[in-house]
Amino acid sequence: MTKMDTLTVANNLVKDPDWWRGAVIYQIYPRSFQDSSGTGTGDLKGIANRLPYVASLGVDAIWISPFFKSPMDDFGYDVSDYCDVDPMFGTLADFDHLIATAHGLGLKVMIDLVLSHTSDKHAWFEESRISRDNNRKDWYVWADPKPDGTPPNNWLSIFGGSAWQWDARREQYYLHNFLTSQPDLNFHNPAVQDALLDVAYFWLERGVDGFRLDTINFYVHDAELRDNPPLPKEERNATIAPSVNPYNHQKHIYSKNRPENLAFLRRLRAVMDKYGAAAVGEVGDAQWGLEIMGEYTAGDDLMQMCYAFEFLAADQPSAARFVEVLKKVDKVASDGWACWAFSNHDVVRHATRWNLSDAANRTLATLINCLRGSVCLYQGEELGLQEADVPFEDLQDPYGIEFWPEFKGRDGCRTPMVWEQSNSHGGFTDATPWLPVSPQHLNQSVAAQEDDPEALLQHYKAAVALRQTYPALAKGAHGNVGHDGNVLHFERSLDGDTLFCAFNLSDDTAELNVPQGKWEHIGAEVGSAVIDGSTVALAPWQVCLARRIA
Protein backbone atom coordinates (compact mmCIF):
# COMPACT_ATOMS: atom_id res chain seq x y z
CA MET A 1 0.00 0.00 0.00
CA THR A 2 1.40 3.38 -0.99
CA LYS A 3 1.53 6.35 1.34
CA MET A 4 -1.29 7.99 -0.64
CA ASP A 5 -3.40 4.83 -0.37
CA THR A 6 -2.77 4.76 3.37
CA LEU A 7 -3.86 8.38 3.72
CA THR A 8 -6.98 7.66 1.66
CA VAL A 9 -7.92 4.76 3.92
CA ALA A 10 -7.23 6.84 7.03
CA ASN A 11 -9.34 9.73 5.70
CA ASN A 12 -12.21 7.36 4.90
CA LEU A 13 -12.13 6.19 8.50
CA VAL A 14 -13.22 9.58 9.81
CA LYS A 15 -15.90 10.40 7.25
CA ASP A 16 -18.73 8.51 8.91
CA PRO A 17 -19.44 9.64 12.51
CA ASP A 18 -21.95 6.79 12.65
CA TRP A 19 -19.24 4.17 11.94
CA TRP A 20 -19.94 2.31 15.16
CA ARG A 21 -23.58 1.55 14.36
CA GLY A 22 -23.69 -2.05 13.24
CA ALA A 23 -19.89 -2.37 13.32
CA VAL A 24 -18.19 -5.72 13.80
CA ILE A 25 -15.52 -5.36 16.50
CA TYR A 26 -12.78 -7.95 17.03
CA GLN A 27 -11.60 -8.24 20.63
CA ILE A 28 -7.86 -8.79 21.18
CA TYR A 29 -6.56 -9.98 24.54
CA PRO A 30 -2.99 -8.64 24.26
CA ARG A 31 -1.29 -11.12 26.60
CA SER A 32 -2.46 -13.95 24.35
CA PHE A 33 -2.48 -12.68 20.78
CA GLN A 34 1.15 -12.65 19.59
CA ASP A 35 4.50 -12.50 21.34
CA SER A 36 7.05 -10.56 19.27
CA SER A 37 9.79 -10.32 21.91
CA GLY A 38 10.30 -13.88 23.12
CA THR A 39 8.95 -13.29 26.62
CA GLY A 40 6.06 -15.72 26.44
CA THR A 41 3.56 -12.85 26.72
CA GLY A 42 1.83 -11.13 23.83
CA ASP A 43 2.63 -7.49 23.11
CA LEU A 44 1.68 -4.48 21.01
CA LYS A 45 4.20 -5.19 18.25
CA GLY A 46 2.79 -8.68 18.02
CA ILE A 47 -0.72 -7.29 17.59
CA ALA A 48 0.47 -4.91 14.87
CA ASN A 49 2.19 -7.76 13.05
CA ARG A 50 -1.03 -9.80 13.01
CA LEU A 51 -3.41 -7.02 12.00
CA PRO A 52 -3.45 -8.04 8.31
CA TYR A 53 -5.10 -11.27 9.45
CA VAL A 54 -7.69 -9.33 11.46
CA ALA A 55 -8.39 -7.07 8.49
CA SER A 56 -8.88 -10.16 6.31
CA LEU A 57 -11.86 -11.11 8.47
CA GLY A 58 -13.67 -8.04 7.17
CA VAL A 59 -14.28 -6.52 10.61
CA ASP A 60 -14.56 -2.78 11.19
CA ALA A 61 -12.61 -2.30 14.39
CA ILE A 62 -10.49 -3.91 17.08
CA TRP A 63 -10.93 -3.67 20.83
CA ILE A 64 -7.70 -4.16 22.76
CA SER A 65 -7.97 -5.24 26.39
CA PRO A 66 -5.83 -3.23 28.85
CA PHE A 67 -2.13 -2.76 28.16
CA PHE A 68 -1.51 0.09 30.64
CA LYS A 69 1.10 0.00 33.40
CA SER A 70 -0.13 -2.38 36.07
CA PRO A 71 1.04 -4.77 38.80
CA MET A 72 -1.08 -7.32 36.88
CA ASP A 73 -3.00 -8.59 39.89
CA ASP A 74 -6.00 -8.67 37.54
CA PHE A 75 -4.02 -8.75 34.29
CA GLY A 76 -4.20 -5.06 33.46
CA TYR A 77 -7.62 -4.31 34.90
CA ASP A 78 -5.71 -2.90 37.88
CA VAL A 79 -4.15 0.22 36.36
CA SER A 80 -1.22 1.99 38.00
CA ASP A 81 -0.69 4.54 35.18
CA TYR A 82 -3.46 5.28 32.69
CA CYS A 83 -1.19 7.15 30.30
CA ASP A 84 1.64 4.71 29.69
CA VAL A 85 2.16 1.21 28.34
CA ASP A 86 3.26 -1.55 30.66
CA PRO A 87 6.79 -2.62 29.64
CA MET A 88 5.62 -6.20 29.15
CA PHE A 89 3.52 -4.94 26.21
CA GLY A 90 6.04 -2.45 24.81
CA THR A 91 6.09 1.34 24.64
CA LEU A 92 3.96 4.28 23.62
CA ALA A 93 5.88 4.29 20.34
CA ASP A 94 4.77 0.70 19.80
CA PHE A 95 1.18 1.77 20.40
CA ASP A 96 1.52 4.62 17.91
CA HIS A 97 2.83 2.11 15.37
CA LEU A 98 -0.15 -0.15 16.08
CA ILE A 99 -2.57 2.74 15.51
CA ALA A 100 -0.92 3.65 12.22
CA THR A 101 -0.91 0.04 11.06
CA ALA A 102 -4.57 -0.46 11.95
CA HIS A 103 -5.66 2.74 10.26
CA GLY A 104 -3.63 1.84 7.20
CA LEU A 105 -5.63 -1.39 6.98
CA GLY A 106 -8.95 0.39 7.42
CA LEU A 107 -9.44 -0.74 11.03
CA LYS A 108 -10.70 1.45 13.85
CA VAL A 109 -9.00 1.03 17.23
CA MET A 110 -10.89 0.91 20.52
CA ILE A 111 -9.06 0.51 23.81
CA ASP A 112 -10.28 -0.79 27.14
CA LEU A 113 -10.62 1.99 29.73
CA VAL A 114 -10.94 0.84 33.34
CA LEU A 115 -12.35 3.92 35.04
CA SER A 116 -14.23 2.56 38.03
CA HIS A 117 -11.12 1.61 39.98
CA THR A 118 -7.32 1.71 39.87
CA SER A 119 -4.54 -0.40 41.26
CA ASP A 120 -3.57 0.24 44.86
CA LYS A 121 -0.13 1.00 43.36
CA HIS A 122 -1.49 3.99 41.42
CA ALA A 123 0.05 7.28 42.60
CA TRP A 124 -3.42 8.64 43.27
CA PHE A 125 -4.20 5.91 45.78
CA GLU A 126 -0.76 5.93 47.34
CA GLU A 127 -1.29 9.62 48.15
CA SER A 128 -4.91 9.18 49.19
CA ARG A 129 -4.14 6.50 51.78
CA ILE A 130 -1.37 8.47 53.51
CA SER A 131 -3.77 10.42 55.70
CA ARG A 132 -7.25 11.86 55.97
CA ASP A 133 -5.85 15.27 55.06
CA ASN A 134 -4.07 15.38 51.70
CA ASN A 135 -4.75 16.61 48.17
CA ARG A 136 -6.38 13.33 47.17
CA LYS A 137 -7.92 12.38 50.50
CA ASP A 138 -11.33 11.78 48.93
CA TRP A 139 -10.35 10.52 45.48
CA TYR A 140 -11.34 7.04 46.60
CA VAL A 141 -14.30 5.74 48.60
CA TRP A 142 -13.24 5.88 52.24
CA ALA A 143 -15.55 5.22 55.18
CA ASP A 144 -15.32 4.89 58.94
CA PRO A 145 -16.08 1.52 60.50
CA LYS A 146 -19.25 0.81 62.41
CA PRO A 147 -18.87 1.26 66.18
CA ASP A 148 -17.99 -2.44 66.49
CA GLY A 149 -15.17 -2.08 63.94
CA THR A 150 -16.93 -3.93 61.13
CA PRO A 151 -17.30 -2.56 57.57
CA PRO A 152 -19.66 0.37 57.00
CA ASN A 153 -22.26 -1.70 55.16
CA ASN A 154 -23.00 -5.11 53.62
CA TRP A 155 -21.62 -4.56 50.12
CA LEU A 156 -19.83 -7.57 48.62
CA SER A 157 -16.95 -7.94 46.18
CA ILE A 158 -17.40 -9.83 42.93
CA PHE A 159 -14.14 -11.61 43.72
CA GLY A 160 -15.46 -12.85 47.06
CA GLY A 161 -15.96 -11.49 50.57
CA SER A 162 -16.64 -7.97 51.73
CA ALA A 163 -16.22 -5.06 49.32
CA TRP A 164 -14.44 -3.15 52.09
CA GLN A 165 -10.77 -3.40 53.04
CA TRP A 166 -9.33 -1.96 56.27
CA ASP A 167 -6.44 0.47 55.94
CA ALA A 168 -4.43 0.97 59.15
CA ARG A 169 -2.91 4.29 58.12
CA ARG A 170 -6.23 6.11 57.82
CA GLU A 171 -8.05 3.78 60.21
CA GLN A 172 -10.81 3.60 57.64
CA TYR A 173 -12.17 1.14 55.13
CA TYR A 174 -11.88 1.64 51.37
CA LEU A 175 -14.29 0.26 48.79
CA HIS A 176 -13.21 -2.37 46.25
CA ASN A 177 -15.84 -4.02 44.08
CA PHE A 178 -13.20 -6.40 42.78
CA LEU A 179 -9.81 -7.35 44.29
CA THR A 180 -8.60 -5.65 47.47
CA SER A 181 -5.81 -4.25 45.30
CA GLN A 182 -8.40 -2.50 43.08
CA PRO A 183 -9.76 0.42 45.14
CA ASP A 184 -12.80 2.20 43.71
CA LEU A 185 -12.52 5.81 42.63
CA ASN A 186 -14.91 8.36 44.12
CA PHE A 187 -16.94 9.75 41.22
CA HIS A 188 -18.74 12.14 43.57
CA ASN A 189 -15.51 14.18 43.50
CA PRO A 190 -15.43 16.43 40.39
CA ALA A 191 -11.62 16.36 40.39
CA VAL A 192 -11.71 12.58 39.89
CA GLN A 193 -14.03 12.95 36.92
CA ASP A 194 -11.79 15.65 35.44
CA ALA A 195 -8.71 13.46 35.81
CA LEU A 196 -10.42 10.55 34.06
CA LEU A 197 -11.60 12.77 31.23
CA ASP A 198 -7.98 13.87 30.83
CA VAL A 199 -7.12 10.18 30.37
CA ALA A 200 -9.68 9.94 27.57
CA TYR A 201 -8.21 13.07 25.95
CA PHE A 202 -4.71 11.57 26.14
CA TRP A 203 -5.63 8.48 24.12
CA LEU A 204 -7.93 10.28 21.71
CA GLU A 205 -5.07 12.63 20.89
CA ARG A 206 -2.96 9.55 20.08
CA GLY A 207 -5.53 8.50 17.52
CA VAL A 208 -7.81 5.95 19.17
CA ASP A 209 -11.29 5.76 17.70
CA GLY A 210 -13.15 4.81 20.83
CA PHE A 211 -13.29 2.92 24.08
CA ARG A 212 -14.63 -0.22 25.61
CA LEU A 213 -15.66 0.91 29.07
CA ASP A 214 -15.10 -1.72 31.72
CA THR A 215 -17.86 -2.13 34.34
CA ILE A 216 -19.57 1.06 33.21
CA ASN A 217 -22.38 0.71 35.74
CA PHE A 218 -19.96 0.51 38.70
CA TYR A 219 -18.61 4.06 38.44
CA VAL A 220 -20.79 5.75 41.05
CA HIS A 221 -21.69 4.46 44.49
CA ASP A 222 -24.45 5.55 46.85
CA ALA A 223 -23.13 8.53 48.78
CA GLU A 224 -25.13 7.47 51.84
CA LEU A 225 -23.57 3.97 51.80
CA ARG A 226 -26.93 2.28 52.32
CA ASP A 227 -27.06 -1.52 52.62
CA ASN A 228 -27.98 -3.48 49.52
CA PRO A 229 -31.24 -5.40 50.02
CA PRO A 230 -31.30 -9.19 49.72
CA LEU A 231 -32.11 -10.81 46.38
CA PRO A 232 -34.69 -13.60 46.54
CA LYS A 233 -33.22 -16.99 45.71
CA GLU A 234 -35.52 -17.47 42.73
CA GLU A 235 -34.12 -14.29 41.12
CA ARG A 236 -30.47 -15.26 41.44
CA ASN A 237 -28.39 -16.32 38.45
CA ALA A 238 -24.73 -16.84 37.67
CA THR A 239 -24.53 -14.41 34.75
CA ILE A 240 -22.13 -12.00 36.47
CA ALA A 241 -20.65 -14.11 39.26
CA PRO A 242 -20.45 -17.90 39.68
CA SER A 243 -23.28 -19.51 41.61
CA VAL A 244 -20.96 -20.30 44.54
CA ASN A 245 -20.31 -16.58 45.07
CA PRO A 246 -22.50 -14.84 47.69
CA TYR A 247 -22.39 -11.74 45.47
CA ASN A 248 -25.50 -13.26 43.87
CA HIS A 249 -27.43 -12.89 47.14
CA GLN A 250 -27.90 -9.10 46.89
CA LYS A 251 -29.73 -6.54 44.80
CA HIS A 252 -26.87 -4.21 43.97
CA ILE A 253 -28.85 -0.99 43.89
CA TYR A 254 -26.51 1.03 46.11
CA SER A 255 -23.04 -0.32 45.32
CA LYS A 256 -23.56 0.26 41.57
CA ASN A 257 -26.27 1.21 39.01
CA ARG A 258 -26.65 4.71 40.47
CA PRO A 259 -28.58 7.35 38.47
CA GLU A 260 -25.82 9.89 39.19
CA ASN A 261 -23.67 8.00 36.70
CA LEU A 262 -25.49 9.57 33.76
CA ALA A 263 -23.99 13.01 34.37
CA PHE A 264 -20.46 11.64 34.04
CA LEU A 265 -21.35 9.64 30.93
CA ARG A 266 -22.62 12.83 29.30
CA ARG A 267 -19.33 14.55 30.08
CA LEU A 268 -17.41 11.65 28.57
CA ARG A 269 -19.59 11.63 25.45
CA ALA A 270 -18.93 15.34 24.94
CA VAL A 271 -15.19 14.62 24.95
CA MET A 272 -15.54 11.73 22.49
CA ASP A 273 -17.72 13.73 20.11
CA LYS A 274 -14.87 16.17 19.54
CA TYR A 275 -12.95 13.29 17.93
CA GLY A 276 -15.75 11.33 16.28
CA ALA A 277 -15.04 8.54 18.75
CA ALA A 278 -17.47 5.95 20.09
CA ALA A 279 -17.75 3.76 23.16
CA VAL A 280 -19.22 0.41 24.08
CA GLY A 281 -19.96 0.00 27.76
CA GLU A 282 -19.90 -3.27 29.67
CA VAL A 283 -23.04 -3.46 31.81
CA GLY A 284 -22.30 -5.91 34.59
CA ASP A 285 -25.63 -6.72 36.15
CA ALA A 286 -27.51 -10.00 36.38
CA GLN A 287 -31.00 -8.57 36.92
CA TRP A 288 -31.30 -5.25 35.04
CA GLY A 289 -28.60 -5.41 32.38
CA LEU A 290 -30.87 -4.66 29.43
CA GLU A 291 -32.66 -1.84 31.24
CA ILE A 292 -29.32 -0.21 32.10
CA MET A 293 -28.12 -0.71 28.53
CA GLY A 294 -31.20 1.15 27.33
CA GLU A 295 -30.72 3.92 29.87
CA TYR A 296 -27.03 4.41 29.05
CA THR A 297 -27.47 4.47 25.25
CA ALA A 298 -30.64 6.57 24.97
CA GLY A 299 -30.51 9.73 22.88
CA ASP A 300 -27.35 11.21 21.41
CA ASP A 301 -25.55 12.50 24.50
CA LEU A 302 -24.74 9.25 26.35
CA MET A 303 -22.88 6.14 25.21
CA GLN A 304 -23.28 4.90 21.65
CA MET A 305 -23.43 1.20 22.57
CA CYS A 306 -23.54 -1.10 25.58
CA TYR A 307 -23.59 -4.82 26.04
CA ALA A 308 -25.29 -6.83 28.72
CA PHE A 309 -24.76 -10.51 29.52
CA GLU A 310 -27.91 -12.17 28.15
CA PHE A 311 -26.02 -14.05 25.41
CA LEU A 312 -22.92 -14.55 27.55
CA ALA A 313 -24.92 -16.73 29.94
CA ALA A 314 -24.32 -20.41 30.62
CA ASP A 315 -27.40 -21.77 28.88
CA GLN A 316 -27.54 -21.85 25.10
CA PRO A 317 -30.33 -19.48 24.02
CA SER A 318 -33.27 -21.14 22.33
CA ALA A 319 -35.29 -19.51 19.58
CA ALA A 320 -37.80 -18.47 22.24
CA ARG A 321 -35.04 -16.95 24.36
CA PHE A 322 -33.70 -14.91 21.44
CA VAL A 323 -37.20 -13.57 20.85
CA GLU A 324 -37.62 -12.77 24.54
CA VAL A 325 -34.36 -10.81 24.68
CA LEU A 326 -34.85 -8.96 21.39
CA LYS A 327 -38.40 -7.94 22.31
CA LYS A 328 -37.27 -6.80 25.73
CA VAL A 329 -34.60 -4.65 24.09
CA ASP A 330 -37.33 -3.11 21.93
CA LYS A 331 -39.25 -2.33 25.12
CA VAL A 332 -36.52 -1.04 27.45
CA ALA A 333 -33.91 0.20 24.94
CA SER A 334 -35.94 1.30 21.93
CA ASP A 335 -33.87 4.48 21.68
CA GLY A 336 -30.58 2.71 22.40
CA TRP A 337 -28.13 0.41 20.66
CA ALA A 338 -26.96 -3.01 21.76
CA CYS A 339 -23.62 -4.64 21.11
CA TRP A 340 -23.89 -8.44 21.01
CA ALA A 341 -21.29 -11.05 21.89
CA PHE A 342 -21.33 -14.77 22.55
CA SER A 343 -17.78 -14.94 23.97
CA ASN A 344 -15.20 -12.68 25.57
CA HIS A 345 -12.26 -12.79 27.98
CA ASP A 346 -14.50 -13.21 31.06
CA VAL A 347 -16.67 -16.20 30.16
CA VAL A 348 -16.24 -19.79 29.04
CA ARG A 349 -15.93 -19.87 25.23
CA HIS A 350 -19.37 -20.40 23.75
CA ALA A 351 -18.30 -23.41 21.67
CA THR A 352 -17.82 -25.18 25.02
CA ARG A 353 -20.37 -23.32 27.13
CA TRP A 354 -23.16 -24.35 24.77
CA ASN A 355 -21.56 -27.62 23.60
CA LEU A 356 -21.88 -26.62 19.96
CA SER A 357 -21.56 -28.85 16.95
CA ASP A 358 -19.79 -27.45 13.89
CA ALA A 359 -23.17 -26.81 12.25
CA ALA A 360 -24.48 -24.98 15.32
CA ASN A 361 -21.32 -22.87 15.49
CA ARG A 362 -21.80 -21.80 11.88
CA THR A 363 -25.47 -20.94 12.30
CA LEU A 364 -24.81 -18.85 15.40
CA ALA A 365 -21.97 -17.03 13.61
CA THR A 366 -24.44 -16.10 10.87
CA LEU A 367 -27.12 -15.20 13.41
CA ILE A 368 -25.04 -12.75 15.42
CA ASN A 369 -24.13 -10.97 12.18
CA CYS A 370 -27.82 -10.58 11.35
CA LEU A 371 -28.93 -9.12 14.69
CA ARG A 372 -29.88 -5.47 15.11
CA GLY A 373 -26.99 -3.91 16.99
CA SER A 374 -23.22 -4.04 16.76
CA VAL A 375 -21.16 -7.21 17.16
CA CYS A 376 -18.11 -8.20 19.21
CA LEU A 377 -16.13 -11.26 18.16
CA TYR A 378 -13.54 -12.64 20.57
CA GLN A 379 -10.16 -13.75 19.27
CA GLY A 380 -10.20 -17.43 18.33
CA GLU A 381 -13.96 -17.88 18.16
CA GLU A 382 -13.68 -17.67 14.37
CA LEU A 383 -11.51 -20.80 14.64
CA GLY A 384 -14.09 -22.60 16.77
CA LEU A 385 -11.76 -22.76 19.77
CA GLN A 386 -13.12 -24.63 22.76
CA GLU A 387 -12.42 -23.64 26.35
CA ALA A 388 -8.92 -24.83 27.24
CA ASP A 389 -8.48 -27.09 30.25
CA VAL A 390 -5.87 -25.31 32.37
CA PRO A 391 -4.49 -27.39 35.29
CA PHE A 392 -4.71 -25.80 38.72
CA GLU A 393 -0.92 -25.50 38.95
CA ASP A 394 -0.93 -23.36 35.77
CA LEU A 395 -3.79 -21.06 36.80
CA GLN A 396 -3.09 -17.34 36.77
CA ASP A 397 -6.58 -15.91 37.36
CA PRO A 398 -7.19 -14.99 41.03
CA TYR A 399 -10.90 -15.50 40.46
CA GLY A 400 -10.39 -19.15 39.52
CA ILE A 401 -7.87 -19.75 42.30
CA GLU A 402 -10.36 -18.38 44.84
CA PHE A 403 -13.32 -20.52 43.78
CA TRP A 404 -11.58 -23.66 42.44
CA PRO A 405 -12.74 -26.33 41.67
CA GLU A 406 -16.43 -25.32 41.48
CA PHE A 407 -15.41 -22.37 39.29
CA LYS A 408 -12.16 -22.62 37.33
CA GLY A 409 -11.84 -18.96 36.51
CA ARG A 410 -11.20 -17.24 33.20
CA ASP A 411 -7.85 -18.67 32.12
CA GLY A 412 -9.46 -21.28 29.88
CA CYS A 413 -10.73 -18.62 27.48
CA ARG A 414 -7.50 -16.59 27.65
CA THR A 415 -4.96 -19.13 26.42
CA PRO A 416 -2.80 -18.05 23.47
CA MET A 417 -4.08 -17.67 19.94
CA VAL A 418 -3.05 -20.54 17.66
CA TRP A 419 -1.50 -19.41 14.40
CA GLU A 420 0.14 -22.60 13.16
CA GLN A 421 0.72 -26.25 14.03
CA SER A 422 4.49 -26.25 13.63
CA ASN A 423 5.36 -26.08 17.33
CA SER A 424 3.74 -26.81 20.67
CA HIS A 425 3.02 -23.11 21.20
CA GLY A 426 0.98 -22.63 18.03
CA GLY A 427 3.18 -19.90 16.57
CA PHE A 428 2.31 -17.62 19.48
CA THR A 429 5.80 -17.55 21.02
CA ASP A 430 9.23 -19.15 20.95
CA ALA A 431 9.36 -19.06 24.74
CA THR A 432 7.24 -20.68 27.43
CA PRO A 433 3.81 -19.04 27.11
CA TRP A 434 2.24 -17.33 30.12
CA LEU A 435 -0.62 -19.81 29.86
CA PRO A 436 -0.22 -23.19 28.18
CA VAL A 437 -1.44 -23.59 24.61
CA SER A 438 -4.15 -26.22 24.44
CA PRO A 439 -2.96 -29.21 22.34
CA GLN A 440 -6.55 -29.54 21.08
CA HIS A 441 -6.34 -26.04 19.60
CA LEU A 442 -3.37 -26.74 17.32
CA ASN A 443 -5.43 -28.50 14.64
CA GLN A 444 -7.73 -25.46 14.55
CA SER A 445 -4.93 -22.96 13.89
CA VAL A 446 -5.22 -20.08 11.45
CA ALA A 447 -2.76 -21.77 9.06
CA ALA A 448 -4.81 -24.97 9.11
CA GLN A 449 -8.00 -23.10 8.19
CA GLU A 450 -6.91 -20.29 5.90
CA ASP A 451 -6.58 -22.46 2.80
CA ASP A 452 -9.55 -24.71 3.56
CA PRO A 453 -12.73 -23.38 1.91
CA GLU A 454 -14.86 -25.52 4.23
CA ALA A 455 -13.24 -24.31 7.46
CA LEU A 456 -15.19 -22.42 10.12
CA LEU A 457 -12.83 -19.47 9.62
CA GLN A 458 -14.11 -19.09 6.06
CA HIS A 459 -17.68 -19.21 7.29
CA TYR A 460 -17.01 -16.36 9.73
CA LYS A 461 -15.50 -14.31 6.91
CA ALA A 462 -18.58 -14.98 4.78
CA ALA A 463 -20.97 -14.06 7.60
CA VAL A 464 -19.15 -10.77 8.26
CA ALA A 465 -19.05 -10.03 4.51
CA LEU A 466 -22.80 -10.63 4.31
CA ARG A 467 -23.35 -8.01 7.00
CA GLN A 468 -21.11 -5.57 5.13
CA THR A 469 -22.89 -6.25 1.83
CA TYR A 470 -26.40 -5.50 3.10
CA PRO A 471 -26.65 -2.24 5.08
CA ALA A 472 -30.02 -3.38 6.44
CA LEU A 473 -28.17 -6.03 8.48
CA ALA A 474 -25.68 -3.54 9.90
CA LYS A 475 -27.79 -0.45 10.52
CA GLY A 476 -31.40 -1.34 9.82
CA ALA A 477 -34.44 -1.82 12.00
CA HIS A 478 -35.84 -5.20 12.81
CA GLY A 479 -39.45 -6.29 12.77
CA ASN A 480 -41.76 -9.31 12.92
CA VAL A 481 -39.46 -10.93 15.48
CA GLY A 482 -40.81 -14.34 16.38
CA HIS A 483 -40.26 -18.06 16.45
CA ASP A 484 -42.01 -21.17 15.23
CA GLY A 485 -40.82 -23.90 17.53
CA ASN A 486 -37.04 -23.98 17.22
CA VAL A 487 -36.93 -21.60 14.26
CA LEU A 488 -36.10 -17.97 15.02
CA HIS A 489 -37.16 -15.47 12.36
CA PHE A 490 -37.24 -11.72 11.85
CA GLU A 491 -36.94 -9.07 9.17
CA ARG A 492 -34.30 -6.36 8.82
CA SER A 493 -35.06 -3.22 6.85
CA LEU A 494 -33.38 0.03 5.82
CA ASP A 495 -34.37 2.64 3.24
CA GLY A 496 -36.98 0.40 1.66
CA ASP A 497 -34.75 -2.66 1.50
CA THR A 498 -36.12 -5.62 3.49
CA LEU A 499 -34.38 -8.89 4.33
CA PHE A 500 -35.96 -12.03 5.78
CA CYS A 501 -33.82 -14.03 8.21
CA ALA A 502 -34.65 -17.44 9.68
CA PHE A 503 -32.52 -19.80 11.76
CA ASN A 504 -33.25 -23.41 12.66
CA LEU A 505 -31.67 -23.70 16.11
CA SER A 506 -32.09 -27.43 16.50
CA ASP A 507 -30.93 -30.86 15.36
CA ASP A 508 -34.29 -31.49 13.66
CA THR A 509 -35.57 -30.49 10.24
CA ALA A 510 -38.18 -27.76 10.11
CA GLU A 511 -40.56 -26.13 7.66
CA LEU A 512 -41.49 -22.47 7.92
CA ASN A 513 -44.09 -20.30 6.23
CA VAL A 514 -42.43 -17.16 4.92
CA PRO A 515 -44.01 -13.69 4.82
CA GLN A 516 -46.06 -12.82 1.75
CA GLY A 517 -44.20 -11.33 -1.13
CA LYS A 518 -41.56 -12.20 -3.67
CA TRP A 519 -38.18 -13.05 -2.19
CA GLU A 520 -34.75 -13.24 -3.79
CA HIS A 521 -32.41 -15.87 -2.37
CA ILE A 522 -29.24 -14.50 -0.73
CA GLY A 523 -26.59 -15.94 1.56
CA ALA A 524 -25.64 -19.03 -0.41
CA GLU A 525 -22.11 -18.59 0.93
CA VAL A 526 -23.41 -19.25 4.48
CA GLY A 527 -25.59 -22.18 3.47
CA SER A 528 -28.88 -20.32 3.14
CA ALA A 529 -31.89 -22.44 2.16
CA VAL A 530 -33.98 -21.49 -0.89
CA ILE A 531 -37.62 -20.46 -0.42
CA ASP A 532 -40.05 -22.66 -2.36
CA GLY A 533 -43.25 -20.77 -2.97
CA SER A 534 -44.59 -19.72 0.44
CA THR A 535 -42.46 -22.06 2.57
CA VAL A 536 -38.88 -22.96 3.21
CA ALA A 537 -37.53 -26.32 4.35
CA LEU A 538 -34.66 -26.03 6.82
CA ALA A 539 -32.17 -28.76 7.55
CA PRO A 540 -30.87 -28.99 11.12
CA TRP A 541 -29.01 -25.79 12.00
CA GLN A 542 -29.71 -24.25 8.60
CA VAL A 543 -30.48 -20.61 7.88
CA CYS A 544 -32.67 -18.95 5.31
CA LEU A 545 -31.83 -15.46 4.09
CA ALA A 546 -33.80 -13.65 1.41
CA ARG A 547 -34.32 -10.14 0.04
CA ARG A 548 -37.77 -8.79 -0.81
CA ILE A 549 -38.09 -7.86 -4.48
CA ALA A 550 -41.86 -7.42 -4.69
Residue 511 belongs to domain with CATH number: 2.60.40.1180
- Mean pLDDT of the residues in the chain: 95
The pLDDT of residue 407: 80
* pLDDT tens track for 478-502: 999 999 999 999 999 999 999 999 9
CA distances to 30, 79, 178, 348 from 76, rounded to whole Å, are 10, 6, 13, 20
The pLDDT of residue 11: 44
Position 161 in a domain: no
Q: In one letter, which amino acid is 419?
A: W
For the chain, what percent of residues have pLDDT higher than 90?
Answer: 90
CA 190 to chain centroid: 28
What is the mean predicted confidence (pLDDT) over 99-103? 98
Taking the C-alpha atoms of residue 452 and residue 475, their distance in angstroms, rounded to an integer, is 31
Structural domain for 489, as ranges = 476-548
Same domain, 506 and 433: no
Taking the C-alpha atoms of residue 463 and residue 94, their distance in angstroms, rounded to an integer, is 32
- What total of structural domains would you count in the chain? 2
CA distances to 108, 183, 195, 207 from 276, rounded to whole Å, are 11, 31, 21, 11
Q: Which of 340, 342, 343 is nearest to 373 (CA)?
A: 340
What is the mean predicted confidence (pLDDT) over 291-305? 97
* pLDDT tens track for 118-131: 999 999 999 999 99
Is the bond leading into 405 cis (omega within 30 degrees of zero)?
A: yes
Query: Which residue among the candidates 78, 184, 209, 214 is catalytic per the annotation?
Result: 214
Q: In one letter, which amino acid is 481?
A: V
Position 54 in a domain: yes
Helix (H) or strand (E) holding 353: helix 350-353
Of 467, 490, 508, the last residue of a domain is: 467
Tell me how far apart the terminal alpha carbons of the chain are, to the nearest angstrom: 43
Position 139 in a domain: no
pLDDT over 90 at 139, yes or no: yes
Same domain, 28 and 8: yes
Of 446, 467, 488, the last residue of a domain is: 467
Tell me how long the chain is: 550
Taking the C-alpha atoms of residue 29 and residue 66, their distance in angstroms, rounded to an integer, is 8
Q: Which of 537, 530, 527 is nearest to 365 (CA)?
A: 527
Taking the C-alpha atoms of residue 139 and residue 175, their distance in angstroms, rounded to an integer, is 11
Same domain, 195 and 307: yes
Residue 271 belongs to domain with CATH number: 3.20.20.80
Position 179 in a domain: no
What band does 329 get if pLDDT is binned at 50, 70 and 90?
very high
SS3 503: strand
Same domain, 242 and 294: yes
Taking the C-alpha atoms of residue 359 and residue 362, their distance in angstroms, rounded to an integer, is 5
Of 408, 441, 467, the last residue of a domain is: 467
Same domain, 456 and 414: yes
Same domain, 462 and 489: no
What is the mean predicted confidence (pLDDT) over 399-405? 80
* 112 in catalytic set: no
Taking the C-alpha atoms of residue 118 and residue 345, their distance in angstroms, rounded to an integer, is 19
Rg (alpha carbons) of the chain, rounded to whole number? 23
Same domain, 515 and 414: no
What is the mean predicted confidence (pLDDT) over 11-38? 88
pLDDT over 50 at 355, yes or no: yes
* pLDDT tens track for 3-15: 334 434 444 445 5
Q: Quick check: 25 and 35 in contact, CB under 8 A?
A: no
Q: Quick check: 183 and 173 in contact, CB under 8 A?
A: no
The pLDDT of residue 3: 38
* 282 in catalytic set: yes
For the chain, what percent of residues have pLDDT higher than 70?
Answer: 97
pTM of the model: 0.95
The pLDDT of residue 421: 93
* pLDDT tens track for 53-79: 999 999 999 999 999 999 999 999 999
Same domain, 240 and 294: yes
Same domain, 248 and 206: yes
Give 3-state DSSP helix, strand, coil % of the chain, rounded to 5.
Answer: 30, 20, 50
pLDDT over 80 at 360, yes or no: yes
Same domain, 208 and 316: yes
* pLDDT tens track for 234-261: 999 877 777 888 999 999 999 999 999 9
Helix (H) or strand (E) holding 85: strand 81-85
State the DSSP string of 157-173.
-TTSSBSEEEETTTTEE
Query: Which residue among the candidates 43, 120, 222, 282 is catalytic per the annotation?
Result: 282
The pLDDT of residue 15: 58
Helices (H) and strands (E) in the chain, counts: 14, 20
Running DSSP on this structure, what letter comes out for residue 107? -
Position 137 in a domain: no
Q: In one letter, which amino acid is 224?
A: E
Q: Quick check: 390 and 411 in contact, CB under 8 A?
A: yes
Same domain, 456 and 497: no
Q: Which of 428, 390, 424 is nearest to 409 (CA)?
A: 390
